[in-house]
Amino acid sequence: VALVALQAGDAVIRYGSIIGYAARAIPQGGWVAEDALTSPPPPVLDSLPLATETPAPLPPLEGYTFQGYRNPDGTVGTRNILGISTTVQCVAGTVDYAVRRIKQELLPKYPNVDDVIAITHNYGCGVAINAPGAEIPIRTLRNLSLNPNLGGAPMVVSLGCEKMQPSQMLPVSTLPVLSEEPYVVRLQDEEHYGFEEMVAALMEMAEKRLERLNQRKRVTCPASDLVVGLQCGGSDAFSGVTANPAVGFAADLLVRAGATVMFSEVTEVRDAVHLLTARAANEQVARDLVREMAWYDEYLAHDNVDRSANPSPGNKKGGLANIVEKALGSVAKAGTSPLVAVTGPGERVTAKGLVFAATPASDFICGTLQLAAAMNMHVFTTGRGTPYGLAMAPVIKVATRSSLAKRWFDLIDVDAGKIATGEATIEDIGWEIFRLILKVASGEQQTWADRWGLHNEYAL
């Protein structure tokens, strides 16, 4: 909504930045809709400020802990899950069947294990497995199998003839434990006579891992062991006013506590990249971020399309006029801390502090890649609403508006709309999110998505 009358050509300013120019006269109180704006070009990548305004580190936040599962590789899980990975789509049906049996027949005997999940996908064969770029899906699947919430006990199911062999997806050298024990079941092995024997082999290997996982106990861990992924989906005009700034405040609290906080979504950072390169910890980090934005520009140019495909119809209905406005609101999730690292798709994050993990904007691909980056907790803001969830990590959903939080009372975990109504401040909701992260990470409280078992598929 225009706070002042605008003439055609006037700059339209939101979040202190120009999001476009009035395409026609807009009266005071008029709706600044997509067709009322001419979008500016994106920031020129060769002219960005590089680490020119690196923020001073915020004061440490000490004494905050959670109850987590320590892994042999030094990471910490917030859940104790058996993950069964696959090398190729051909085995997905068999693995899904076996997982159902494992949950019904075996899991009840091991009360300290939270879940058994199948990590299935559509990759692994019918592709040039050694082609440039193939390392992205391969390392994504490898690092998914090594997510901290899976307890360092990976298990792989292979068909046998696929291009992506287990030794390529998950080499023995990458295994944190069990390196001397079999970790692969091949369905084409001649020892299997019929489907039931294949399933029995899967269940036998799974039970050995369940026995080991069941011996694990939660222990007190510092908040610095958290790796929290941030994402937004179904954004609206309130996203950059309520939920995202509150999550940004929580992100700063986590960074102060020594944790890793990752934000993503290249398409929703591109038009606000100048704000992030300026606050990079050093020039190399800034250049790494520019590298990921340049890839996106080349991708668009290759097919002669522009960035106007984002926002979505729902975003526009929720009041977002263009991608510039959406991007400025999106990066509010990143708080005010220095950007200390940038990782490519599927890479594992190891830095402490604020990290950009490059992903597309798709909720499911972003969530998958953040899990591969070692995320053990997820915070997701939404204005339009989504039942999104992940089996591998808890997802805390934050509503931008109280009306959504009330209507979806059994899907939304935090109501940030109270900021807009004056019932709470950004800081209040930020602390609420921070404390909820610790509770959920400790297993003291379930998210609504986990209560309902709302878990989306992984996507490459």
Q: DSSP secondary structure string, 85-127?
A: EESSGGGHHHHHHHHHHIIIIIGGG-TT--EEEEE--S-SSSS
Rg (CA), the chain: 23
What are the percentages of helix, strand and coil residues in the chain, rounded to 5? 40, 15, 45
Query: Residue 14 is inside which H or E element, if any?
Result: strand 11-14
For residue 321, how far is the Cα from the chain centroid?
25
- DSSP string over 216-252: ---EEEEGGG-EEEEEE-S--TTTTTTHHHHHHHHHH
Distance, in Å, from the CA atom of 203 to the CA atom of 195, rounded to the nearest integer, reads 12
pLDDT of residue 180: 66
Task: Give backbone dihedrals phi and psi of 45, rounded to 5 degrees, phi first.
Answer: -65, -30
3-state secondary structure of 136: helix
> In b/e form, how buried is each residue of 5-18, taking b as 16+ CB within 10 angstroms?
ebeeeeebebbebe
The answer to whether the beta carbons of residues 445 and 436 sit under 8 Å apart is: yes
Structure confidence at residue 76 (pLDDT) = 98
- Phi, psi values for residue 80, rounded to 5°: -120, 90
CA–CA dist 398, 388 (Å, integer): 12
pLDDT at 309: 79
Instruction: Give the CA distances from residue 119 to residues 97, 140, 372, in Å, rounded to whole numbers and listed in that order.
Output: 13, 11, 12
Beta strands 414-415 and 395-399 are parallel
Please list the rounded mean pLDDT of every run of 10 residues in the chain (460 residues).
96 96 97 94 97 96 98 96 97 98 98 98 92 93 97 93 95 74 92 96 97 97 99 96 99 99 96 98 98 94 84 93 96 98 98 98 96 99 97 99 98 99 99 99 98 94
Contact 413, 447 (CB under 8 A): yes
pLDDT at 64: 99
Whole-number Å distance between alpha carbons of 143 and 375: 10
Sign of CA dihedral 78, 84, 87, 89: negative
Structure tokens at 294: 């340049």
- Exposure string for 449-459, b = 16+ CB within 10 A, e = fewer: bbeeebbbebb
